[in-house]
Amino acid sequence: MGEIIQTGVGRRRSRDSSLADQLSGIFIVFGAIVGGAAVVTAASYAAGWAWFTPAVEHSQRAMQDEESSYSSMLSQENSLRGYLLTHDVRFLEPYTRAASSVARSHKSPSSFVGPVESAELASLMVRARLAEERWHEQWAKAAANTSPGAKAPSVTQGRDLFSAYQTAHAAFAEALAKRRDHLAAREQYIIQGRVFIELVVFMVVFFLAMRQHHTLRSAVVEPVAALLRHIRRIRDGHLQATADPVGPRELAELAEGLNEVVRSLIVARELAASRDRELSDHSLRLHQILDASREFAESLNLRYVVGSVRQSTAMIGGYEHVVVWLMSEQKLLIDSEDGKAATANDSLELHKSLAGRAAKSGRITFEGPAGQVRFSDSSMMPVRAIAIPLVVGARVVGVLEARHSKAQVTTPDAIEVLEMLAMHAATAIESAHLHELIETRSHVDALTRLLNRRRLDEDLETECQRCSRYSRPLAFVMLDVDHFKEFNDTHGHPQADTALQAVADVLAGCVRATDTAYRYGGEEFCIMLRETSAKDAMVFAERVRMRIEQRFISGEILGITASFGVAELSVDAATPRALIEAADAAMYESKHGGRNRVALSVRPPPPVQA
């Protein structure tokens, strides 16, 4: 098969033919070459074996037979000479054996050289045989038959006859050697010719093999190597390049299939990357929800929890404005940020508002671009706001309202995230609200709505430590309603409770934002004045005393007054207990002084030194 040239036509032809066809053509070419070489080699071997090798072997055996005959003749001649000298019949035994050996040599087919083959060689052989025969007939037989004491044949005659034989033998042996050498040279020429032919065949096969190697390299090896490189690039994640569909039909189809796989991988990778991004975003939102839920659960402060809910919702959903509405007596929604009612005391307005409808229905509510409120899925059209009810059990405790500055399409995943956030937020807000309610009830007096004795102990301990550390003034005022036991006995407990509530209202209206009023117990109250000296506390206590007196000048309850005692945090009253005892002592001084007055705690005189 000729070389496949990688031009446009060659590539098209290579692509049209299959790899099996190309390999089959290559095997046919090499089979023909090797078969021809085998035929030529077999013919040369047959010619040598039929013509030259038998002749060389025949000549070689002829020389061996002639040498054996000559050795036997020498043995006969020596045996006869020994017998003639000694007349010992034992010398005749070697003569007899040698004669038999000569006869066998002459009977061997190798001794026949053929008259047609070489007339000169046949003539020399005849001369050697005649000389040998003359020696036997004229001297050897007579010598062998000579009796002891009889006259022996002439030794000189025998030597002359044997010398004539040796001369004829030497000429014949030399002719045989020349003939053998000639035949060996011809055989060598035949071998050299055969080697030359085999070398030429080898060179032709090598040349064709190189051409076919180049053809296969261009048609198969290079496309396969390109495919392997492309597969390695695909393995390493490089999907930009495509394989060139060249080479045999199978490789071209493989390249096209690989390109299809690459395109499918690109689509699958883009789809997987999109899903990974979606999963990453969803995971990030879930992580943010988890973090927000943990932050909700770590605090029982309602304001902090609501602020965290608003901040987390704005961060997770990307909303510009988030409001957490809390239910007030199951009638109104209160903005947890500023404490103002969402609407007036009108149930119709509450029903029409976005948060109100979500709270009333317990369903997620959407507000469209034009302000229309609906309960349908937001994925069909853009929305401007979403309201999700905060449900604990079967009770709506509030509404989470999230707004965009511009209407946007909200996906179901985003709504699901908001629902999860609202679920955790509802639980946290309800827990904080209950905790705040319990905390308030544990620190607020149920009758007067002022802080109780327990809260007084906590606040006073903290303030005393702070003022002592930073050398800040702190005043403490105690007051007791005058003749309250007689008032209670006269008017009864309900009227007495009303009087105590009225006194508490006066105290709550007089204290500053930095001051705190407490119900100490029974008809006793106290006020902690931060950043206030004893002198200013006296002025404050006097103002409160006058307001209590004025409050009960007219009305259903008359004649209620109170006695005040004022103390200041000092070296002599440096602890909460000491401060309370000092104010209490000053209050009893007011009572002993005639009641309805203010007394300042007097420091005790310094101890007398010994």
Backbone angles phi, psi at 586, to 5 degrees: -65, -35
Residue type, 543: R
Listed in sequence order, the residues at least 6 apart from 490 whose beta carbon sits closer than 8 Å to its beta carbon are none
Active-site option among 66, 367, 463, 523: 523
User: 65 near 111, Cβ under 8 Å?
Assistant: yes
Listed in sequence order, the residues at least 6 apart from 89 whose beta carbon sits closer than 8 Å to its beta carbon are 83
Residue type, 254: L
User: Rounded to whole angstroms, how far apart are CA atoms 368 and 387?
Assistant: 12
Separation of first and last alpha carbons in the chain: 137
Region at 589 (left for phi over 0; alpha for psi -120 to 50; beta for the rest): alpha
Residue type, 187: E
Residue 486: CB atoms within 10 A of its CB come to 9
Distances (CA, A) of 342 to 252, 345, 354, 373: 74, 9, 11, 16
User: Rounded to whole angstroms, how far apart are CA atoms 589 and 563?
Assistant: 9
Token couple for 145: 């038959």
Catalytic (active site) residue 278: no
User: Rounded to whole angstroms, how far apart are CA atoms 288 and 277?
Assistant: 16
Distances (CA, A) of 225 to 144, 417, 479: 94, 52, 103
Listed in sequence order, the residues at least 6 apart from 459 whose beta carbon sits closer than 8 Å to its beta carbon are 451, 516, 528
User: Rounded to whole angstroms, how far apart are CA atoms 610 and 604?
Assistant: 18
User: Rounded to whole angstroms, how far apart are CA atoms 479 and 260?
Assistant: 94
**Residue 327 CA, distance from chain mean position:** 51
Listed in sequence order, the residues at least 6 apart from 140 whose beta carbon sits closer than 8 Å to its beta carbon are 76, 77, 80, 95, 158
Q: Which residue has the tokens 């064709």?
A: 208
Task: Give the three-state DSSP class for 352.
Answer: helix
Beta-ladder partners of 374: 366
User: Rounded to whole angstroms, how far apart are CA atoms 554 and 232?
Assistant: 102
User: Rounded to whole angstroms, how far apart are CA atoms 357 and 515?
Assistant: 42
Short-list 44, 75, 323, 71, CA closest to 187: 44
User: Rounded to whole angstroms, how far apart are CA atoms 142 and 66?
Assistant: 25
Sign of CA dihedral 319, 323, 324, 330: negative
- Residue 389 burial (CB < 10 Å; 0-12/13-18/19+)? buried
Backbone angles phi, psi at 568, to 5 degrees: -120, 140
Positions marked catalytic: 523
